[in-house]
Amino acid sequence: MANEFLERLGQSVGLRLATMAMLTLVLMIPLAIVSDLVNDRSIRHDDTVHDIGNEWSGQQTLLGPVVVVPFLSSEYVSSDDPERRTMLRHAFFLPETLNITGTIEPEIRYRGIYQTILYTADLTISGTFPGADFSTWSVEEDAIRWQEAFIAFGITDMRGIKDEVLLNWSDTTLAFSSGMREAGRLVPAGISSRIAADTQSEFSFNLRLDGNDELLFVPVGKTTQVELTSSWDAPSFSGAFLPDERTVTDDGFSANWQVLDLNRPFGQSWRDEEVHLLDSAFGLSLYPPVDQYRKTQRSTRYGFLLVGLTLLAFFLIELRMGLRAHPFQYILMGLDLCLFFLMLLSLGEHLPFNSAYILSGVATIGLAALYAGTIYRSRNIGMLTAGILVLLYTFIFLLLQLQDYALLAGSIGLFLLLALTMYLTRNFANLAALSLSKDNE
């Protein structure tokens, strides 16, 4: 039965082509398994990075400073109660100017084969506050509790604070204490201090802060200016505003932002209202320069192209030269090509992606060329196999590098490959007859 099928397979070119197409689909199974493995390793990497970051300090978003002044308000509590009640309310005031300058020092931490990017930010925060003005709200002077006014500065992860934070408020030096008090509705965590808020004041303080990956600022000043420098050469600027000026070199980066109150969806002062300040946050992330797993995952998407075109090339070689390989040998050849992606994943966890790609490609191409030369008993076919695979691997490698133009380059490449295949099979009937005659001889 098996011998009869193999005999019919050798005599029918159409059956051989259908068998190769079926084998190509079967080989998608190990490719899918490798793709799932890449996803699993990527998730494990992200979990490990998250754990390291949590042990250090989380992503940081800085909000403030904000001046909060309590006041008494006479108002109706509900429609069922006809009497006015005296309620304690809070007014929030933002600075006239806010200037933030600093440096960000990155640090790479390892756990096993995984790494994450941590940082320490050394910031100087300064600006001016106008006196808290209640005139637009018709609040009586004796209803304002000036003695309970305080300034608050939001920090999403308090574990990152390295040193004591001292506030220079006009001519006095005050110590920040933990907790945001009534300003906790703006951001869950932060520091605060009692101040005199009835007159215009200048402020400044230094903040040394640890963080993980991301550092964002909320532009609370009527004019907010942020200037940052770092030795990290792969920043990713993100958030509601991009830098007005930025310079990125191999030695690091510098970036400047300027945000006006007209650029934000909130004003300079408000009372007990729901205000979404965090939606306007901006800043940067310190990403590793190469995302190993993302590139490996992208490369597995071309597995069908690699296996299909390689088996098609063998099919054309067999037609041209009147040769024939066993289907099991095609399966072994396809498994060798699938193994490339597994080797790329495993080597890529220890080597740069380009080096892992070259080593994996050399190993699989060498094995495929040696096997092809052996089963067809021809050194030239082995060299031809190596040449075909080198072209395919080079094509895939270029697609991985051209992120913005990958679709365009891939479309052009596939068009050229299709044109070449159509040219080589222009005399398909004659080639099939020639192959069949050689088999009969």
H or E element at residue 330: helix 327-348
- With a pLDDT cut of 90, the percent of the chain lying above it is 25
Give the three-class secondary structure for 93: strand
Query: What pLDDT is attached to residue 17?
Result: 67
Q: Which amino acid is at 255?
A: A
Burial tier of 407 (Cβ tally within 10 Å: 0-12, 13-18, 19+): exposed
Dihedral angle at the C-alpha atoms of 316, 320, 323, 325, nearest 10 degrees?
A: 0
CA 370 to CA 381: how far, in whole Å? 9
Comparing 287 with 94, which gets the higher pLDDT? 94
- pLDDT tops 60 at residue 10: no
- pLDDT tops 70 at residue 441: no
- With a pLDDT cut of 70, the percent of the chain lying above it is 85
Alpha helices for 101-247 (secondary structure H) = none
What the block records as the tokens of 302 is 């071309």
> Among 302, 293, 297, 292, which residue's Cα sits nearest to residue 389?
302
Query: What pLDDT is attached to residue 274?
Result: 77
CA 56 to CA 119: how far, in whole Å? 9
Domain boundaries, the chain: 2-45+293-440, 59-289
H or E element at residue 209: strand 201-212
Residue with tokens 């050849």: 333
- pLDDT tops 80 at residue 145: yes
Query: What pLDDT is attached to residue 367?
Result: 87
Average pLDDT, whole number, for the chain? 81
- pLDDT tops 80 at residue 266: yes
H or E element at residue 30: helix 28-56
Asked if residues 285 and 213 have their Cβ atoms less than 8 Å apart, the reply is: yes
The pLDDT tens digits for 271-280 are 877 788 888 9
> Among 179, 432, 154, 147, which residue's Cα sits nearest to residue 318?
432
H or E element at residue 386: helix 379-401
The pLDDT tens digits for 19-28 are 777 777 777 7
Query: What pLDDT is attached to residue 436?
Result: 45
- pLDDT tops 50 at residue 392: yes
Give the three-class secondary structure for 161: strand
CA 153 to CA 63: how far, in whole Å? 6
pLDDT tier at 99, thresholds 50, 70, 90: very high
Residues ≥6 apart with Cβ < 8 Å to 5: none
CA 151 to CA 190: how far, in whole Å? 11
The mean pLDDT value for 114-131 works out to 89
Burial tier of 205 (Cβ tally within 10 Å: 0-12, 13-18, 19+): buried
The pLDDT tens digits for 44-83 are 877 777 777 777 788 899 998 999 999 887 766 666 666 7
The pLDDT tens digits for 161-216 are 988 999 999 889 999 999 888 887 888 899 999 998 888 899 999 999 998 888 99
The mean pLDDT value for 211-235 works out to 92
The mean pLDDT value for 96-117 works out to 85
How many Å is the Cα radius of gyration of the chain?
34
Question: CA dist 341 to 23, 32, 202, 289, Å?
Answer: 18, 11, 60, 21
CA 143 to CA 27: how far, in whole Å? 78
Burial tier of 183 (Cβ tally within 10 Å: 0-12, 13-18, 19+): buried
pLDDT tier at 2, thresholds 50, 70, 90: very low
pLDDT tier at 379, thresholds 50, 70, 90: confident
The pLDDT tens digits for 395-426 are 888 877 776 676 777 778 778 877 876 776 66
